[in-house]
A = this chain, B = another copy of it.
Amino acid sequence: MTARDVPSGEPATVPTPAPGDPRLARLSLNQRTTADWSVADAIAGCRSAGLSSIGLWREPVAEAGIQAVREWLDAAEVRVSSLCRGGFFTDPARADEAHESNIAAIDEAAALGAPALVLVPGGLPAGSRDLRAAREEVTAALERLAPYARDHGVTLAIEPMNPIYAADRGVISTLSQALDIAEATGDDVGVVVDTFHVWWEPDVEEQILRAGKRIASYQVCDWITPLPADALLARGMMGDGHIDFSNLTRAVARAGYEGDIEVEIFNADVWAAPAEEVVATMTRRFVELVQPYL
């Protein structure tokens, strides 16, 4: 395994952890980090790298067939840390459609043994500038969805999203706002703490402690500058950007989170690199920048 880091080219400051290294026990590869791997490849890649969990996406899982995926997971002894993604709640004209899709997503999460379904709130409906109304739609949709999730043992995980996406992708903009909604919806509604989305939030550590057991997923990647031209591909490998993972990770640990930690990076340079190298870099950066603070 090369020691070259992807994509920064910086020399590795720690050796690539070997499979079986206990420091990798909670590290999960979100499959979108390795764009050229199929679901089967990604599960095999996790096993080879010594990772025991993976974050899956609905579309590639559906393409491969959920039963087949389940068998690959069992054979590789890899668990699912979360399923991406439900949500897209904000358009009242499509509320029923969204609800049905989310019901299906809950079924899929349950079938895969995923503890959490990640919910992207959705942006402003076409032609609307009413952010308040869009946010109220999210709350209403969650209230409608929560009983079904509860009955199926899947935690709904609201993902607050960096305000860069407030118009077109996620109208829930802070962990504080996500928690307001979660608390209003039910004891078992959770949130995603994704460093890329919340690192700048003025009281983020206090909000993480407030979240406590509601943290249904902890996802790590970096905020890099200059921001890549495509804002959807703006995430960086931990250590390549500006985020201090020590304080955020300590807060997540203090909040009582004991689940997996996913690395989800949408970035053209990362996607262009060989997936094995991306995973090796990810494991090195994780044991250097995240794991010591758990």
Interfacial chain B residues near A124, Cβ < 8 Å: 242
| A244: chain B residues within 8 A (beta carbon) | 129-131
Cβ contacts under 8 Å, A226 to chain B? 168, 231
Residue A177 CB within 8 A of the other chain: yes
Please report the C-alpha to C-alpha distance between residue A58 and residue B269 in the assembled complex, in whole angstroms.
39
Of all chain B residues, the one with the shortest Cβ separation from A241 is B167
Decide yes or no whether A65 CB sits under 8 A from chain B. Answer: no
Chain A 117-138 near chain B by CB (<8 Å), digits 1 or 0: 0000000100001110001000
Q: How many residues of A contact B (CB 8 A)?
A: 31
Within the oligomer, what is the number of copies of this chain? 2
Question: Using an 8 Å CB-CB cutoff, how does the interface string of A202-237 with B read, 1 for contact, 0 for none?
Answer: 100000000000000000000101110111000000
CA distance A180 to B202 in the complex (A): 11
Top 9 A-B residue pairs of the complex, sorted by shortest distance between their CB atoms: A229-B229, A166-B200, A129-B244, A167-B242, A163-B200, A177-B202, A227-B231, A168-B225, A164-B164
Show 27 residue pairs from A and B whose CB-CB distance is below 8 angstroms, ordered by the A residue: A124-B242, A129-B242, A129-B243, A129-B244, A130-B244, A131-B200, A135-B202, A162-B163, A162-B164, A163-B163, A163-B164, A163-B201, A164-B227, A166-B199, A166-B200, A166-B223, A167-B200, A167-B225, A167-B241, A168-B242, A173-B200, A176-B202, A177-B202, A180-B202, A226-B231, A229-B229, A231-B231
